Structure 1
């Protein structure tokens, strides 16, 4: 590594990720440390991580935000790059990170994430550039406590790097939909806890606004059939989130 580069830890959270983790670990070997926080894998994830020299810590599941922050806190270095097991650092992004850490201009950096869906990397619409803030100095940034849709929070100016973070979940459409169903439930719970309420307008028009924004204005149609299916699921997620909120609101009203 360049002699002047800030030392870097890569933090990854895992659960039964053996089928996806190896490419992630290979792409992260330029870092000075890889730390894997595992929440009880039974499929060889831990052995795979250790084979690539990662330091593995077992931690019961805390929710996405708290689990990622636990990994950040356990890292040896203040500069941390957070990855998911189904992501990998492209060569172009690695170069950008190496250069940025020689003389950091700020304490947090974001970069585009390119999502593979139904065999195609989406380059338009909702799937790209999917800006992701994942590289930061933990003394000036931290993960939110959100159970889903977690994000890095910082008061620092956010720098921007070139090169894609490649996201390839390699999951079936059925498992993807199962995960989306779980996420919409969590998102509905979070919205209600924040004092938000569902309404006819939100249920009816939120999916439409989402379709216009991502499929038409941001040209998701250029990603072909995978792009259409991706935005259709996204619109349905909006519909289900507010529908689940409405269900909870009616249930709570009945109990009063």
Structure 2
């Protein structure tokens, strides 16, 4: 796959596991012909975008302490203590107006100075297992054919780690070569495009995404509207039964087929809210379709 274009979703389709064992197999060679030992070969820029993330950023940066050669925080106008937290950890702090998720993520990648980028959201943190896998990787020289590494993401929801349903493993490419990588997409749910193979890293990104179910539903409504606008702009149409059919399928997939019921009442709530979000997406799209026909 060297030289081909890949997005994050490809990571779940058969990449090789890359943990401590694989890292040793890659073992690099120093100038004397032996193992490079603990010498850092993979140099990393941690890249984070923020807006009023004082409550989350410290946890994120603590999980990365001593792991990367630099930390870049690109802010879009925080009025809380986000900047103070970033400076506490020695991060490079830059402020730019908000141009949208995709463009801001590309902006922060453009500010990175190292060859590899570890892209995190402020409400995420590295699990101990994932940190160890990255530490092992830093002592190796990955083949030139490898463009990125994927990792699973585990959501902390209502005081429980969610390990089933639509939310897990949610494997994403978050560590990748800076050169030739960029984000594409619409108003929300951007995707990473890169060149080369994708390997898997052991361990999880810990995602502290929602304060409670009310916060969850508020974001569902926001994302549903952004999705509907993107779908309308792309010429997508929604039939009269589309909200009901897509919503029902999402619930069955998340709660039954992917084992969401194993996460107890949290699994039920997640599946139900996800289904409501999908229903809302297609209902909003129908409204936009109808408004477009009226104005035409």
Superposed pair shares fold, TM > 0.5: yes
Contact 1:66 1:145 in 2 (8 A): no
| Aligned position for 1:62 | 99
Partner of 2:234: 194
Rg larger in structure: 2
| Of 105-114 and 8-17, the range deviating more from structure 2 | 105-114
> Would the aligned equivalents of 1:66 and 1:146 in 2 still touch at CA under 8 Å?
no
2:62 is aligned with 1:26: yes
Counterpart mapping for 1:110-149 below 5 A: 110-149=150-189
Which structure is higher in RCO with an 8 Å CA cutoff and minimum separation 6?
Answer: 2
Which runs of no fewer than 5 residues in structure 2 stay unpaired? 1-36
Task: Using structure 1 for the length normalisation, give the TM-score.
Answer: 0.96
CA contact (8 A) 1:117 1:226 kept: yes
CA distance in 2, matches of 1:4, 1:85: 26
Give, in whole Å, the separation in 1 of the partners of 2:100 and 2:295. Answer: 28
Report how many residues are paired.
256
In the aligned structure 2, how far is the partner of 1:35 from the partner of 1:241?
34
CA root-mean-square deviation: 1.4
Instruction: Return closer, same or farther for 1:26/1:212 CA change in 2, 3 Å cut-off.
Output: same
1:3 Cα shift?
Answer: 1.1
Q: Equivalents in 2 of 1:82, 1:94: separation in Å? A: 14
Secondary structure of the structure 2 residue equivalent to 1:184: helix
Runs of 4+ in 1 over 3 A off after TM superposition: none
* 1:124-162 CA distance string (max 9 Å, x none): 001210111111002132111432011111242211111
Whole-angstrom CA distance in 1 between matches of 2:241 and 2:133: 44
Specify every segment of 5 or more residues in structure 1 that has no aligned partner in the other structure, as ranges: none
Paired residue for 2:41? 5
Partner residue of 2:271 out of 213, 231, 236: 231
Residues 90-105 of structure 1 mapped to structure 2, 5 A cutoff: 90-101=127-138, 102-105=140-143
